[in-house]
Amino acid sequence: MTASLPPYESPVPGSAREAAGLPDPVTPRYIAHQGGPENPSVAALRERFGVAVLRSHVMWGDTTVFVDPKAVHDVIRFLRDDTAHAYNYLVDITAVEYRDTDQPLEVVWHVRSLPWQRFLRIKVELAAGSALEVASVTDLYAAADWLERECYDMFGITFNGHPDLRRILMWDTYNEGHPLRKDFPLRGRFSRAEQLSQALKIDTSGGYSTTELSIAEAFNDLPEDMKQRLRAARAVDPAALALPEDGR
């Protein structure tokens, strides 16, 4: 069993610390564990996209590469389509905003290559005061649809080219801002009474897209063995599972 490490080195007087060869007392212990081999896909990105690949680093074995926001769609498409990389699984899309207002807000894509068993984190930096806009990758990964909507909802990032960019966690008429931004008040911008009043006025009748409402039709696209399992479950308890007519 590996012993857990404290998050920081114990404070030691400067001269004694230097004599003992200890790091700065406020340096996180995990700094010693940085490094390791860089994901080979980064070298291919540098060769293909040149200065659009800004920098990269490795932390705990995971590689992060920073790219120019204007090039991120081309970078991700290359990583997906080139068979030498084949990042065919979009894990997540999120964002990071730091408390230092001068530090850029980061948009983050996590992609994984199942054939090559590689993971890569891609980041772009959006400078403070600039438009919070990047290209959508919904044309590359269907999973990006809801992930980009969540990032838009929580952080206010616009994904240009998204087919249906609207809130997904908060209701469409929610107007208090974006809850994961650092300037968002802990209790919200409005009183609890006003929040409740607005929530009660929500019209949910038009809150779903045609795709979301027709999800039952996806049954016909399932593998045959999964269809059989679903049919068996329905036979045990018909009320537990509603299938389309073709699923009978």
What is the average per-residue pLDDT within 88-111? 92
16 and 125 assigned to the same domain: no
163 and 89 assigned to the same domain: yes
25 and 116 assigned to the same domain: no
44 and 25 assigned to the same domain: no
Q: pTM here?
A: 0.69
Look at residue 54 and tell me if it is in a domain. Answer: yes
Residue 13 pLDDT class (50, 70, 90 cuts): very low
State the residue range of the domain holding 147: 37-189
Q: Are 123 and 67 in contact (CB under 8 A)?
A: yes
Look at residue 199 and tell me if it is in a domain. Answer: no
Helix (H, G, I), strand (E, B) or coil at 59: strand
pLDDT digits (tens, 9 = 90+) for 130-153: 889 999 999 999 999 999 999 999
67 and 21 assigned to the same domain: no
Tell me how many domains the chain contains: 2
Which DSSP letter does residue 12 get? Answer: -
Within 10 A of 182 (CB to CB), how many other CB atoms are there? Answer: 10
12 and 60 assigned to the same domain: no
Q: What is the CATH number of the domain that holds 174?
A: 3.30.460.80
In sequence order, what are the beta bridge partners of 122? 65, 109
71 and 176 assigned to the same domain: yes
